[in-house]
Chains A and B, each alone.
Chain A
Amino acid sequence: MNIQNTQWVTIGALNDIPRQGARRVIAGPKTIAIFRTTQDEVYALEDKCPFKDGPLSEGIVHGKTVSCPITNWVISLETGAAQGADQGQTQVFPIKLEGQTIQLGL
């Protein structure tokens, strides 16, 4: 198992993302969805629903969850886990919010 230090990258400002919305960050082959809740919490998930790879950044954000636009699976923003009876996991990335500045941990 590789032990890597998390590399923090500044990706933008809080106000770049609408409340109850999301933006994409392109990181090579991966797209990461950055979510902002009504409470101004920021979360990052791989932009891929564990069921049919739907782009989670296009889903409807409610509370600390997002509904996949393709399948309506509900994914937790905190853990990346599918909610309810569905089983599945999306990769979670760490976020640091300093003032307005959002940093993404890769």
Chain B
Amino acid sequence: MAKQRLVIIGNGMAPGRMLEHLFEENHAAFDVTIFNAEPRVNYDRIMLSPVLSGEKSFEDIIIHDDAWYAQHNITLHKGAKVAKIDRTAKTVTSENGITAPYDKLVIATGSDPFIIPCPGHDLDGVLPYRDLDDTDAMTAAAKQGGNAVVIGGGLLGLEAAAGLNTLGMDVTVLHLMPTLMERQLDSAAGYLLEKELESRGIDIRCKSNTKQIIGEDGQVTGVELEDGTLIKCDIVVMAVGIRPNVALAKDTGLEVNRGIVTTNGMQTSDANIYSIGECAEVGGMVYGLVAPLYQMAAVAAKHLCGPTDALFQHSETPTKLKVTGCDLYSVGDFAEGDDREDIVLRDANMGTYKRVIIQDNKVIGAVLYGAVEDGGWYNEMLKSGEDISDMRDTLIFGQAYQGGGELDPLAMVAGMSDDAEICGCNGITKGMITSKITSMGLTSLADVRAHTKASASCGSCTGLVENVMAITLGDAFKLPEVEGMCGCTPHDHGTVRRLIKSQGLKSIPAVMQELEWNTPEGCSKCRPALNYYLVADWPGEYQDDQQSRFINERVHANIQKDGTYSVVPRMFGGLTTPDELRAIADVADKFEIPTVKVTGGQRIDLLGVKKDDLIPVWDDLNKAGMISGAAYAKGLRTVKTCVGTDWCRFGTQDSTGLGVRLEKLLWGSWSPAKLKLAVSGCPRNCAESTCKDIGIICVDSGYEIHYGGAAGLHIQGTTKLGNVETEEEVLEYCAAMTQYYRETGYYLERIYKWADRLGYDHIKSVIYDDPVARKDYYERFLHSQKFAQVDPWAERVKGAEAHEFTPMADLTPREAAE
């Protein structure tokens, strides 16, 4: 049988999901052509809010990349908006002139943001919040700082407001109704949400009716309310709702009501045309949340493949708000009524609120704020219509309190019925997961995600899915390697760094509280990492926590295996003087330091210094003009040099002088791991620049900047960043790169690993190709250095942290005089 031609208008989440089902049912049945008005592949629109707040990148939320379309032989026309459907000729034509014939057509045009047609709605700076372009526009606007007004206090509006607030804008939310998210929350939960958002500095104004948007020279400058209040702003985000995008279907003569009218099999009034997604109206309802849209996709796929009795069925979809730190969950019907009973539990200290709505001894709705773990359980009871009279007294406390003692999560999952929904986004039940695990022999979470879609959208059910795997596989199931920084948190380093910035967390206890550390005080793995991240992210604001530093960084010397220390004074660029050398020799004699050694970093190491002697040793070295060489630090160590033009007949530039300048610029800075530089005066490379974290090679025309070398456990040559002409440029590029590394590196990750992770092309595009970004990083580095370039030895000689260096008491009995 010849392949049928399937044309899809729209490339959002619903048609993407439909194709997956289609290929699963019958891979060879269709030649697929997609027209996408957006110039890109299919991505997870639910996750735009984390992209806005900076918690995720666009790459993180792509569902199908270009390779996927190629693999399935799909013709994808990006940026091609369909202008016309010819139902007689059975063709589709786009605005840019592409025509494609179809046997079956799927309309998935989604919805358009609703723009209030008030005066000024067409000014520059009035943005909807719908797709990646809108998100990008908001991010760009937020870079300028200033004020933002968000019109609409619903799900999308609040996510936009929280995102803009995180990006540093002053945000005002205007909401027509008396409480926020009134469609999903009752007034009590709405109040708690309002309080939480206000505590973050978002100005919430309920019962506010916009009269007009005011502008100057075509650009937004403010919003005027009906009561005459004027709010100044630089952007206005309209998030008052969406409207099914039905224009094309209407022009084509299909039956259209609020949405494109379809049967429960997703068929429109034309038997060859289907419609799914936010544009479709089924059973008199249009939908905006992902779970019913995915159900439409599954049903449509079945019908396209042949006769089937699969039908779309309405079900209540729970709502969650994707704002980090605001946990809320609502499902079902929560209007008050005479025939309904409420069970409510509030905890003012914890800021939590739980309300379950009961009718005829059955759960018909639930609203949870602050404590949402039991949302899924209430939703399951709502769906099953279970009689709850027996557990009425304890219902509100949640599932863990039913049937006596606390239920462990595995037993809880084991007790779920096969119909119980595990993944709300994708409508995946426990039975669907267990049957795939068994039939396909799946053992990893990644495989289960790939084959069932469970936990593949918002990811909040990952723990449940793992428990289902544990029960199904028994001993064969191994929890995935903990990806967290350490056993204290499931968050990885990248997530923790992003959240420290995006939530403005400025102390170790704040990080542990807000990111829900599962140990009270962390451990020796996470505390030094957090301390570094806070030092790097909040220069001048964060008070370095000495107790979270390893001993070497606390006492500014290297502990040796016998408990003594080594002391290394700084020699900028490897240069020293007879006076410095004399002072070092005197110190070695005076304190009976057993070993004096020249290091690989061109300086001198005094080994075997007793702890109690550290301060006097430093005092003597300080007096001779020397400071700490930071040979113990996750920070700038040395800049190694060769002698360059001053002495060497091959030298092309003053490599020693440049090395001194670099070290004077960079010393004192903390970084994720140690940082070693070198400057070689010619390509013979006597300073070994090509195995350093950052290495400079002088050439006739200027300087080559290299980075990402390693010569430790791992050996790797550097990669060239590019050429520059002046010493000033070398300083700026190196400092900018160091700052980029400081801001994005994971604790203990050397530059070569960091560069492998981020990609050398990417780093080049930021530090070498983009002068604005480079300047930004350079400026931030200089700012941070204002607080970092303090000699820790001198501070301690003056008495800082004195407790580190002397015993608390000496109880050794005095020997009696003979």
Which A residues are closer than 8 A to B by beta carbons? 9, 11-12, 16-21, 23-28, 31, 34, 38, 52-55, 58-63, 67, 69-70, 72, 74, 104, 106
Contacts and interface: CB of A to CB of B under 8 A. Distances in A.
A26 B803 contact: no
A19 B809 contact: no
Contacts of A28: 811-813
A19 B545 CA distance: 11
Contacts of B807: 23-26, 31
Given A60-B528, A62-B522, A69 B559 contact: yes
A17 B803 CA distance: 7
Contacts of A12: 808-809
A17 B554 CA distance: 15
Contacts of A59: 524, 551
B600 interface: no
Contacts of A61: 547
Name the interface size band of chain B. 20 to 34
Contact of B521 (A27, A63, A104): A63
Interface in B527-566: 527-528, 546-551, 554-555, 559, 561, 563
B481 interface: no
Given A27-B811, A60-B527, A19 B547 contact: yes
> Which of A9, A12, A20, A58: most chain B CB closer than 10 A?
A58
A41 B813 CA distance: 28
A27 B812 contact: yes
B770 interface: no
5 contacts: A21-B547, A23-B803, A25-B811, A28-B811, A106-B811
B273 to A, nearest CB: 63
B523 A67 contact: yes
B83 to A, nearest CB: 65
Given A60-B547, A69-B550, A23 B808 contact: yes
Given A9-B811, A12-B808, A27-B811, A63 B803 contact: no
A9 B809 CA distance: 10
> Which of A26, A31, A72: most chain B CB closer than 10 A?
A26
The 9 A-B pairs of least Cβ separation, nearest first, read: A67-B524, A23-B808, A58-B551, A20-B547, A60-B524, A11-B809, A26-B810, A69-B551, A24-B807
B519 interface: yes
A59 B803 CA distance: 14
Contacts of B803: 16-18, 21, 23
B611 to A, nearest CB: 9
B550 A63 contact: no
Contacts of B521: 20, 38, 62-63
A62 B811 contact: no
B520 interface: yes
Contacts of B561: 52, 70
A29 B94 CA distance: 89
Nearest to B547: A20
Given A12-B809, A21-B803, A55-B563, 9 more contacts: A11-B808, A16-B808, A23-B803, A25-B807, A52-B561, A54-B563, A58-B559, A62-B521, A74-B524
Contacts of A18: 546-547, 803
Nearest to A33: B808
Contacts of B810: 25-26
Nearest to B549: A60
B559 A62 contact: no
Interface string B780-818: 000000000000000000000001000111111100000
A80 B300 CA distance: 65
Nearest to B509: A38
A17 B547 CA distance: 11
A85 B620 CA distance: 45
Contacts of B808: 11-12, 16-17, 23-25, 34
Given A21-B547, A38-B521, A62-B522, A26 B527 contact: no
Given A18-B803, A69-B550, A70-B561, A62 B524 contact: yes
Interface in B237-294: none
B809 A72 contact: no
Nearest to A48: B563
Contacts of B554: 58
Nearest to A23: B808
A55 B810 CA distance: 17
A74 B522 CA distance: 13
B810 to A, nearest CB: 4
Nearest to A52: B561
A54 to B, nearest CB: 8
Contacts of A74: 523-524
Interface in B481-526: 519-524
A60 B508 CA distance: 14
Contacts of A70: 559, 561
Contacts of A104: 811
A43 to B, nearest CB: 14
A104 B521 CA distance: 26
Nearest to A16: B808
A33 B524 CA distance: 18
B803 to A, nearest CB: 6
Contacts of B559: 55, 58, 69-70
A21 B347 CA distance: 36
A26 B809 CA distance: 6
B568 to A, nearest CB: 18
B813 to A, nearest CB: 7
Nearest to A55: B563
Contacts of A11: 808-809, 811
